[in-house]
């Protein structure tokens, strides 16, 4: 079958353009990305073979191989992992499956227009444009792959300029090899020679040391400078003539090493690998449990929320290892859904290697781990709040909406979550307030915590419901996330104070005044009886009752719900969901 030419999907093409005209100052990271993919492919093959022993695949020597050719100016990253089928290559490499791509590209354009320093780099990181990063250093890329268990392989080639070719090949080895045809060497900058064993060694050490599979480099003959002949594995079984491949990484699991032995950078590199993110995490959390059920955990709070966090098919979960061996990617049972943005690794000592997801969901030990990890994440946020308010504020901006789901779904940690939550308020223009701070500012005699939900701060502030509160200088929380309605109802109280929507029920802001003027009220009632009756008649089915109120100061009228009715914002939300 001859090679067929295809066009990249529009978004993919745009990202490729960015790569080619590289927005990254540090091009070395392309190798980290390719090694990361190769490592994933080896993990996947091992897991698949574990599940299905009849899979026709060789798992006896899973590894990654780096092969540089100075004369041809190529660098090849090869793995003997799961590989890809013909269709998969087109799907996985030719398109960007990421949802939110349009939004991303829009933000990218805006960042460009405003010429924000570093903004592009930051944004592109959200996409984990892993494979494409090869085009930062190469003007053409060839990928040859064969899916484990299949007999035919596929060759993919591209110059990154809008099209790629696909062709079936008969003799591809199991796994994937990616060959970069490197851009011409910069004579002024030998540091960027990616065919140099020194350079390759350095990059692997820096970014991929913890990868659990051996990353080998076969020295290019034994050159005059003897490069590549140092630090070799002493493999006596090898023939004299063929230089033994050198293993570049230590393969040590970071979570199994003592804390002071691992640098922050190393933790960050692990995060980028497991989190498929290009940016550093906001927090690194280490956890160790000894005793009857031993485990270690390394968790990361990302610095930015991914675009698809609220999509149904968002891949959540941690990597689950048993004594340094990965047994499950995306293990959801280890964290509650509202902490789905947390990335990381759990390594448990006593679990069966082929435990299923279903069994894990009900496993008592896994349940224990989940509860402990959950508390640890919340307490980390609490520490951040106390010690680094700016970082906390940034965290809450990114993940507050998700965490608030926990107020509804996780009663066990509700109080702890309420303590680390913050909200918009009439007291501040842009800052957020905690409930505790709200309580401290409450007026004498104020019994309740007032809030109002709506689509935006502005729409809430313009609501007639706010008038009386504004006039009396009573603080109101301004809640703009759809989930706010739900938790505010579910939670009910904070430290003995009721949470009350200013849009619900009767609110007597000045109880004493009202009592004093009971007579007057009565009189008013009689005076307006005619009008109220007429309005009730006119509005008919649309309202339950028309009554006089002291809550307005400027607007003539407003719509109020019964205390236990849906508020207007929630009604809108349900309507939008088609209910």
Cα dihedral 290, 296, 300, 301 sign:
negative
User: What is the closest distance, in whole angstroms, from the C-beta atom of residue 249 to Mg ion in the complex?
Assistant: 17
* Residues in 152-181 at the binding interface with ligand ADP, rule: CB under 6 A: 176
- CB under 5 to 8 A by kind: which of Mg ion, ligand ADP, none does 160 bind? none
Site string for Mg ion, 5-44 (x = CB under 5 A): -------------------------------xx-------
User: In this complex, which beta carbon is closest to ligand ADP, that of residue 84 or of residue 172?
Assistant: 84
- CB under 5 to 8 A by kind: which of ligand ADP, Mg ion, none does 79 bind? ligand ADP
- CB under 5 to 8 A by kind: which of Mg ion, ligand ADP, none does 360 bind? none
Q: CB under 6 A: which stretch of 2-10, 37-45, 344-352, 504-512 binds ligand ADP?
A: 37-45
Short-list 353, 285, 272, CA closest to 320: 353
* Residues in 432-461 at the binding interface with ligand ADP, rule: CB under 6 A: none
Backbone angles phi, psi at 247, to 5 degrees: -90, 125
Tell me if 130 contacts Mg ion by CB under 5 A.
Answer: yes
Tell me if 296 contacts Mg ion by CB under 5 A.
Answer: no
Taking residue 196's Cβ as centre, other Cβ atoms within 10 Å add up to 17
* Residues in 228-257 at the binding interface with ligand ADP, rule: CB under 6 A: none
Tell me if 463 contacts ligand ADP by CB under 6 A.
Answer: no
DSSP string covering 253-269: -GGGS-GGGS-HHHHHH
User: What is the closest distance, in whole angstroms, from the C-beta atom of residue 148 to ligand ADP in the complex?
Assistant: 10
Chain position whose Cβ is nearest to Mg ion: 130
Distance, in Å, from the CA atom of 234 to the CA atom of 225, rounded to the nearest integer, reads: 20
What tokens appear for 350 in the block? 């006593």
Binding residues for ATP: 33, 37, 79, 84, 99-100, 126-131, 176, 357
- CB under 5 to 8 A by kind: which of Mg ion, ligand ADP, none does 41 bind? ligand ADP
Of 29, 35, 38, 486, the one binding ligand ADP by CB under 6 A:
38
3-state helix, strand, coil split of the chain in percent (to 5) is: 40, 20, 40
User: In this complex, which beta carbon is closest to ligand ADP, that of residue 28 or of residue 33?
Assistant: 33
Tell me if 157 contacts Mg ion by CB under 5 A.
Answer: no
Dihedral, 183, 244, 205, 172 alpha carbons, nearest 10: 50
Q: Please, what is the end-to-end C-alpha distance for the chain in angstroms? A: 53
Tell me if 296 contacts ligand ADP by CB under 6 A.
Answer: no
Q: What residues have CB less than 8 Å from 101, skipping those under 6 apart?
A: 11
Q: What is the CA radius of gyration of the chain?
A: 30
For residue 437, give the H/E element and its range. helix 435-441
Angle, CA 101 vertex, CA 100 and CA 104 arms, to 5°: 90
Tell me if 33 contacts ligand ADP by CB under 6 A.
Answer: yes
Chain position whose Cβ is nearest to ligand ADP: 130
Of 15, 16, 35, 41, the one binding ligand ADP by CB under 6 A:
41
Tell me if 128 contacts ligand ADP by CB under 6 A.
Answer: yes
User: What is the closest distance, in whole angstroms, from the C-beta atom of residue 175 to ligand ADP in the complex?
Assistant: 7
Sheet of 295-301, strands arranged across: 283-289, 295-301, 343-348, 318-322, 325-331
User: In this complex, which beta carbon is closest to Mg ion, that of residue 40 or of residue 484?
Assistant: 40
Distance, in Å, from the CA atom of 276 to the CA atom of 60, rounded to the nearest integer, reads: 27
Tell me if 228 contacts Mg ion by CB under 5 A.
Answer: no
Distance, in Å, from the CA atom of 39 to the CA atom of 63, rounded to the nearest integer, reads: 8
Which residues partner with 145 through β-bridges?
154, 176
Angle between helices 364-387 and 389-403 (to 10 degrees): 140
Q: CB under 6 A: which stretch of 31-39, 207-215, 236-244, 471-479 binds ligand ADP?
A: 31-39
Tell me if 79 contacts ligand ADP by CB under 6 A.
Answer: yes
Tell me if 134 contacts ligand ADP by CB under 6 A.
Answer: no
Tell me if 84 contacts ligand ADP by CB under 6 A.
Answer: yes
Residue 538, judged by CB atoms within 10 A of its CB (0-12, 13-18, 19+), counts as: exposed
User: Is 16 in a helix, a strand, or coil?
Assistant: helix
Tell me if 131 contacts ligand ADP by CB under 6 A.
Answer: yes
Q: Which spans of this chain sit near ligand ADP (rule: CB under 6 A)? A: 33, 37-38, 41, 79, 81-84, 92-93, 128, 130-131, 176, 276
Q: Which spans of this chain sit near Mg ion (rule: CB under 5 A)? A: 36-37, 130
């Amino acid at each position: 079958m001859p090679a067929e030419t295809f066009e990249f999907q529009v978004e993919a093409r745009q990202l490729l353009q960015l790569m080619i005209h590289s927005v990254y100052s540090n091009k070395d990271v392309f190798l980290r990305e390719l090694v990361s993919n190769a490592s994933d492919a080896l993990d996947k093959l091992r897991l698949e073979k574990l599940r299905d022993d009849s899979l026709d695949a060789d798992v006896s020597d899973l590894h990654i191989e780096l092969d540089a050719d100075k004369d041809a100016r190529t660098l090849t990253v090869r793995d003997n992992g799961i590989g890809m089928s013909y269709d998969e290559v087109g799907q996985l490499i030719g398109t960007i499956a990421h949802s939110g791509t349009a939004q991303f590209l829009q933000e990218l354009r805006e960042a460009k227009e405003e010429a924000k320093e570093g903004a592009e780099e930051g944004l592109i990181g959200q996409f984990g444009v892993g494979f494409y990063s090869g085009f930062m250093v190469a003007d053409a890329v060839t990928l040859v792959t064969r899916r484990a268990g299949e007999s035919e392989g596929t060759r993919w080639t591209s110059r990154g300029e809008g099209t790629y070719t696909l062709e079936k090949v008969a003799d591809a080895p199991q796994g994937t090899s990616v060959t970069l045809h490197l851009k011409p060497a910069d004579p002024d900058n030998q540091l960027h020679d990616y065919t140099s064993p020194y350079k390759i060694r350095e990059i692997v050490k820096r970014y991929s040391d913890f990868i659990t599979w051996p990353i080998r480099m076969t020295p290019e003959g034994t050159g005059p400078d003897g490069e590549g002949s140092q630090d070799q594995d002493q493999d006596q079984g090898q023939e004299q003539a063929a230089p033994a491949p050198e293993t570049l990484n230590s393969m040590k699991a970071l979570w199994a090493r003592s804390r002071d032995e691992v640098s922050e950078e190393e933790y960050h590199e692990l995060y980028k690998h497991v989190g498929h993110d290009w940016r550093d995490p906001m927090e690194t959390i280490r956890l160790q449990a000894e005793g009857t059920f031993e485990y270690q955990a390394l968790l990361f709070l990302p610095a930015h929320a991914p675009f698809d966090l609220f999509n149904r098919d968002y891949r959540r979960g941690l990597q689950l290892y048993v004594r340094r061996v990965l047994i499950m990617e995306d293990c959801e049972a280890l964290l509650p859904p509202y902490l789905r943005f947390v990335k990381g690794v759990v390594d448990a000592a006593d679990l069966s290697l082929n435990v299923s997801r279903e069994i894990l969901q009900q496993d008592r030990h896994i349940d224990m781990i989940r509860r402990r990890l959950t508390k640890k994440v919340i307490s980390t946020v609490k520490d951040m709040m106390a010690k680094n308010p700016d970082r906390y504020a940034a965290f809450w901006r990114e993940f507050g909406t998700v965490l608030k789901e926990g107020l509804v779904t996780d009663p066990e940690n509700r109080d702890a979550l309420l303590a680390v939550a913050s909200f918009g308020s009439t007291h501040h223009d842009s800052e957020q307030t905690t409930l505790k701070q709200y309580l401290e500012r409450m007026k004498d005699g104020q019994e309740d915590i007032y809030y109002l939900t709506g689509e935006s701060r502005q729409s809430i502030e313009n609501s007639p419901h706010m008038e009386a509160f504004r006039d009396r200088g009573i603080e109101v929380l301004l809640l703009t996330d759809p989930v706010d309605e739900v938790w505010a109802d579910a939670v009910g109280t904070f430290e003995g104070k009721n949470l009350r929507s200013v849009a619900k029920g009767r609110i007597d802001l000045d109880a004493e005044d009202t009592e004093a003027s009971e007579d007057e009220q009565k009189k008013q009632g009689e005076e307006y009886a005619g009008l109220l009756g007429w309005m009730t008649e006119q509005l008919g089915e649309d309202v339950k009752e028309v009554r006089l109120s002291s809550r307005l100061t400027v607007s003539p009228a407003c719509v109020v719900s019964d205390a236990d009715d849906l508020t207007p914002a929630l009604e809108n939300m349900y309507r939008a969901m088609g209910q």
